[in-house]
Amino acid sequence: MTEAGDPIAFVAALPAERRLFGLDLGTKTIGVALSDERFLIATPLVTLSRVKFGKDAAALIELADRHNVGGYVLGLPINMDGSEGPRAQSTRAFARNLAPLDGRPIFFWDERLSTAAVTRTLLEADASRRRRDEVVDKLAASFILQGFLDRLHLAARADDPRRL
């Protein structure tokens, strides 16, 4: 597992031609988004209903295998004051339990206000409550992953303007 730090080092350690999953971990669902192979675009993929950890992990691993995923960007719900509360601790526990079952690296990404931003966008688009409930988690996962991808490319350009 990798703390939010150097996205370039995280991606460099991945096997070639792999994608990333962005995950928005909730108490009832897991929103999943998928990057392209060049790490430019995050696309909302699916919202998984949570059952219990073993089944959740198996579903996630099967989905990752199917989509040629090399690593996870897991949204970490940090409080506005920068502290970590029970939700962040639960997210870290999920990652600790997933790591030995899967082996794919996990990068924690600050997800502050991701669900709120997505919900606001859906409200502005006049999406019905039912539609919002159907898509908010996978869109939040996409928001989290796109933030990581954007930071990755900014870091790469700062490191070497000819990269990416």
Longest dimension (CA), the chain: 46
Determine phi and psi for 163, rounding to 5 degrees: -75, 150
pTM of the model: 0.84
Architecture of domain 7-159: 2-Layer Sandwich (3.30)
Q: Confidence class of residue 164 from pLDDT cuts 50, 70 and 90? A: very low
- Computed over every residue of the chain, the mean pLDDT equals 86
Give the Cα-Cα-Cα angle 153, 71, 53 (nearest 5 degrees).
135
Three-class DSSP category at 63: helix
- pLDDT on residue 137: 82
At 93-146, the pLDDT tens digits run: 999 999 999 999 999 998 876 666 666 666 666 666 776 566 678 888 999 999
Enter the tokens of residue 143: 């928001």
Residues 6+ apart with CB under 8 A from 144: 22, 23, 24, 33, 73, 75, 109, 111, 114
